[in-house]
Amino acid sequence: MNWQFWRHPALLDVCLVNFKHDKESALRGVLWQTRGGWLEFRDCTLLVTGQPAAKMTGDVIVPLANVAFIQRRPGDAS
């Protein structure tokens, strides 16, 4: 089977990313592309429990091995 045409179901949607190693923080951003074991997000905001949301500049690259789960938020306009 040729996987080059496989498209992540949340691609180009706003997503919340929860991490395996840190239960107190999450990332909200647009899933821009996937490549191998990496996810690239744009227009990101860091969410930390008890603190105001912090806007992040540039693209954010997350290793898939660090992701606990991704919540797709298609109607969410960051």
pLDDT at 58: 93
CATH classification (class only), 10-65: mainly beta
The pair of three-digit structure tokens given for residue 72, joined into one six-digit string: 């797709």
> Does residue 1 carry a pLDDT above 60?
no
User: 3-state DSSP helix/strand/coil percent for the chain, to nearest 5?
Assistant: 10, 50, 40
The mean pLDDT of the chain is 87
69: confidence class by pLDDT, cuts 50, 70, 90: very high
**20 pLDDT band (50/70/90 cuts)?**
very high
Residue ranges of domains in the chain? 10-65
- What is the tens place of the pLDDT at every residue in 48-60? 999 999 999 999 9
